[in-house]
Structure 1
Amino acid sequence: MLIVLAGALVLPLLLFGGIFLAVGLNTGDEPGPYTVVFAKPGDECGPKGQYLDASTGEPLRCIGGGIRTSSVEFPGFSPAQNDEVRNWLATLAEDGGLNVFDHRSVQAKIDEIAAGLPPGTRVERESGTTETWIGAGLAGAGLLLGSGFARRWFQNRRAGY
């Protein structure tokens, strides 16, 4: 009976704790709302971030999770700020294409504009901290409860029950 009770309580805690931990730890891996990802046409794109052609700076039609078209528009940016980023991309691409230094320059321009957004306008990147803490708590509770059941089982076994 003790084993059935332990399995019914401990396994779900460990399972859900592991799932929450995995989600929380992997949340920060995705590009943020102000991240530009330079890729090649036909590359797979994630659900977040702005995907632009690495050589021209033009928005990409992406494959992955369905086909989607990227645009050069960022959350909280005014039309003038989005135009500023587009114009900066066009200026950098005039000499025949974009290189790694141009990619960094574009990201720096976007970061500069995003840092100046008023509070409440800027969209923050998801950190996954809450999910990580929930997962750690559930997994810890499962391990603690499991060790208690194991201790009790060994005591009963030694006593001959």
Structure 2
Amino acid sequence: MRRKSSDSTAAALLTLVAGAVLLPLLMVGAIFLIIGLNAGSGPGPYTVLFAKAGDECERIGQYLDASTGEPLSCSGPGGFRTSSLDFPGFSREQNDEVRRWLTTLLRDGELSLFDQRAIQGKVEGIAAELPPGTRVERESGTTRIWIGAGLTGAGLLLGSGFARQWLQNRRSGF
């Protein structure tokens, strides 16, 4: 049986539509999966990180100079940022309490590893006592993972349907 030119045009159009739908679905799905899987790996909103001037920083977390306890200005993803030692959901008094604790620990000079852990413990203790709705939770990637899995699954399902139809048409001579 001889093929019509309209059959090859339809096949080419179907391939073009399949590529235009499948590739974006698969690519966006994969991007969502990667972002979702990496979402919880950075510091949380109540994490105190001790670094040196010029170090890179994440977009979340409070960065303090390891030797002076002063908030750091640092660069990282999203550009340049300055830490302020103000924690989300903390009242002014709670933030002042953290600052006083930090000042007390700095009286003997540089912050030791024990001092750094004590400051982190103080912040976590205050954060644990925040009322529900006030406390900012660590970003979870679960929603992004589900979106990515759904888009990737839809792309694979659609792709397998197109492939099956293409094989059937090829076997039947259309």
* TM-score normalised according to structure 2 size: 0.84
Structure 2 gaps, min length 5: 1-10
The equivalent residue for 2:57 is 45
Distance (Å, rounded) in 2 between the aligned partners of 1:87 and 1:160: 82
1:112 aligns with 2:118: no
Q: CA deviation at 1:40?
A: 0.5
The equivalent residue for 1:24 is 36
Which amino acid in structure 2 is aligned with residue 18 of structure 1? Answer: A
Distance (Å, rounded) in 2 between the aligned partners of 1:67 and 1:148: 48
For 1:63, what is the secondary structure of its paired residue?
Answer: strand
Q: CA deviation at 1:152?
A: 1.8
Distance (Å, rounded) in 2 between the aligned partners of 1:53 and 1:110: 17
1:37-96 Cα offsets, whole Å, 9 max, x none, are: 111011122222111011222111212344332111111111111111112112222222
Structure 1 gaps, min length 5: none
For 1:62, what is the secondary structure of its paired residue?
Answer: strand
Which amino acid in structure 1 is aligned with residue 164 of structure 2? Answer: R
Structure 1 runs of 4+ with >6 Å offset: none
Identity %: 70
Distance (Å, rounded) in 2 between the aligned partners of 1:89 and 1:11: 53
The equivalent residue for 2:152 is 139
Identify the range of structure 1 (134-143 vs 76-85) with the bigger mean alpha-carbon deviation.
76-85
Aligned residues: 161
**What's the Cα RMSD here?**
1.6
Based on CA coordinates, which of the two structures has the bigger radius of gyration? 2
For 2:88, what is the secondary structure of its paired residue?
Answer: coil
1:96 aligns with 2:109: yes
1:11 aligns with 2:11: no
* TM-score normalised according to structure 1 size: 0.91
